[in-house]
Amino acid sequence: MLTRIDHIGIACRNLDETVEFYRATYGFEVFHTEVNEEQGVREAMLKINETSDGGASYLQLLEPTREDSAVGKWLAKNGEGVHHIAFGTADVDGDAAAIKDKGVRVLYDQPRIGSMGSRITFLHPKDCHGVLTELVTSAPAEQPEH
């Protein structure tokens, strides 16, 4: 069951300038940064709020590290802006299978590792009214040492 909007992905040409815009304009601070070599992006997650299911909602700013990455190709075609929406779920495998059974194409056979150690998959935008949609199961919270 989808429980929240996990994040909205925004493609940008310059991550540092875009982060500064969101910080200066809205007061959003960077919660996490990383480079995902497999997906060819450098990203910053800006936490917007906590959610009732123990997760959070973020803006994910994405700068391509290479032109042939999915975000690089999308940016060249569409320019900067909203790239995708991601919904949080406790069971990305089960929800992806249930959605696939409804005739929506799931882009990965098995979920991949996403931001902050999450497990992710994407749904084809042509099956989702033009919206690239991501399903996300957050990584387990670190347990305190005993």
Strand pairing class (30-36; 2-11): unpaired
Is 129 an annotated catalytic residue? Answer: no
Is 134 an annotated catalytic residue? Answer: yes
Is 39 an annotated catalytic residue? Answer: no
Is 84 an annotated catalytic residue? Answer: yes
Handedness of CA 144, 134, 105, 109 (dihedral sign): negative
Q: Given 39, 43, 63, 83, which residue is catalytic? A: 43
Q: Given 39, 63, 83, 134, which residue is catalytic? A: 134
d(CA 80, CA 63): 10
CA distances from 106 to 48, 66, 130 (A): 28, 24, 14
Q: Given 39, 63, 83, 84, which residue is catalytic? A: 84
Residue of 39, 76, 78 lying closest to 60 (CA atoms): 39
The answer to whether 52 and 35 have CB atoms below 8 angstroms apart is: no
Q: Given 7, 39, 63, 83, which residue is catalytic? A: 7
Is 60 an annotated catalytic residue? Answer: yes
Q: Given 39, 60, 63, 83, which residue is catalytic? A: 60
Residues serving a catalytic function are: 7, 43, 60, 84, 134
